[in-house]
């Protein structure tokens, strides 16, 4: 655990055998592998139709790895800097090509703090990243990390005014493009959230799309008694959003990666920290364009131990 003395002295952690509490990194990871395509999801915690929107010119089969996680704040104010440095190291140690971030909460960060955050992601000892973010408040916020030195570049971006998503059009050195969208779904019923996503995807163009993060709703639209994405719960979390999410997937020809490979498997991404609470749900997942499914090989959820070794 991080000692209070470390926090008071604002020491910058060194790579090695330091431990990060579970509270600073989320509890579950979901990894999805394609050709060498890995999609990893970290949080607090089957149709294969080809879209008519995608032509041979914009169909891609990028050799990439993806990751996503809920940060539980990346504010770099001096009071939390040691803890945040541990988070940065833990995130960078994933070493995936693209990382989807949610819950950044960068409102209190001064310009110099943001520069420090960007610099730390770029110069940490594990993997160099460019940080793109949509976070100016003391709640919510999303971001995307793009690994440096592998030929990926940002073409343009679209930011949600409520900071619940960030969409970036990314191009590789061969001119192939993909839309990456980091999600932090509202906890309340907000139909406009999905309408804004649709508008942004149309604005960015007819490119294969990867949307990942904490949706705060299940993909299954079944009632609580038969919902495969819930366990020991009295109601389905934000059931109205499950319907809206399914409509988005139909409109944009998107598929739930986990359900594509394992349509009947029960596994959960939200598990309360209090071990006495038995409620579970799968509210964290990736949606990808159907044209990318042939690259998919496997998907799994990977648990972190109570302390993460850096």
Q: pTM score > 0.85 for this model?
A: no
In sequence order, the 6+-apart residues with CB closer than 8 A to the CB of 191 are 240, 244
Better pLDDT: 257 or 40: 257
Predicted confidence (pLDDT) per residue in 60-113, tens digit? 456 677 877 888 888 776 556 777 888 899 889 888 889 999 999 988 666 678
For residues 68 and 20, give the distance between their C-alpha atoms in angstroms, rounded to a whole number. 18
Predicted confidence (pLDDT) per residue in 160-174, tens digit? 999 999 999 999 998
CATH number 3.60.10.10 is the correct assignment for the domain at 21-309: yes
**Residue 180 belongs to what H/E stretch?**
strand 177-184
Predicted confidence (pLDDT) per residue in 3-61, tens digit? 222 222 233 334 443 333 333 333 333 444 433 333 333 333 332 223 334 443 444 45
Residue-range domain boundaries for the chain: 21-309
The whole-number average pLDDT for the span 218-229 is 96
Segment among 213-227, 249-263, 265-279, 289-303 with least mean pLDDT: 289-303
pLDDT of 162:
96
pLDDT of 94:
84
Predicted confidence (pLDDT) per residue in 272-301, tens digit? 888 889 999 999 889 999 988 877 766 666
Helix axes 81-92, 111-123, angle to 10 degrees: 40
In sequence order, the 6+-apart residues with CB closer than 8 A to the CB of 286 are 30, 32, 39, 41, 66, 68, 210, 211, 212, 256, 257, 258
| pLDDT value at 304 more than 60 | no
pLDDT of 125:
95
């Amino acid at each position: 655990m991080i000692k209070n003395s470390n926090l008071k002295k604002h020491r910058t952690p060194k790579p090695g055998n330091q431990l990060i509490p579970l509270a600073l990194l989320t509890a579950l990871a979901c990894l999805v592998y394609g050709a060498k395509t890995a999609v990893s999801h970290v949080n607090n915690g089957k149709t294969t139709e080809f879209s008519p929107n995608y032509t041979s010119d914009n169909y891609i089969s990028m050799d990439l790895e993806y990751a996503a996680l809920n940060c539980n704040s990346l504010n770099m104010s001096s009071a939390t800097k040691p803890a945040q440095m541990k988070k940065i190291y833990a995130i960078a140690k994933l070493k995936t090509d693209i990382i989807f971030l949610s819950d950044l909460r960068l409102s209190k960060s001064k310009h110099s703090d943001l520069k420090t955050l960007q610099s730390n992601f770029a110069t940490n000892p594990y993997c160099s990243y460019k940080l793109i973010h949509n976070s100016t408040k003391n709640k919510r916020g999303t971001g995307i990390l793009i690994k440096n030195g592998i030929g990926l570049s940002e073409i343009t971006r679209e930011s949600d005014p409520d900071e619940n998503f960030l969409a970036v059009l990314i191009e590789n050195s061969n001119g192939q493009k993909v839309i990456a969208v980091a999600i932090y779904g509202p906890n309340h019923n907000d139909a406009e959230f999905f309408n804004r996503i649709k508008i942004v995807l149309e604005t960015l163009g007819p490119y294969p799309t990867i949307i990942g993060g904490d949706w705060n709703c299940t993909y299954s639209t079944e009632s609580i008694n038969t919902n495969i994405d819930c366990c020991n719960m009295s109601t389905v979390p934000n059931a109205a959003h499950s319907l809206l999410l399914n409509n988005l997937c139909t409109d944009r020809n998107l598929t739930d990666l986990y359900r594509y490979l394992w349509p009947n498997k029960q596994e959960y991404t939200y598990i309360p920290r209090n071990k006495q609470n038995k409620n579970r749900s799968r509210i964290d997942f990736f949606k990808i364009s159907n044209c990318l499914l042939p690259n998919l090989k496997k998907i799994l959820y990977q648990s972190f131990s109570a302390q993460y070794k850096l």
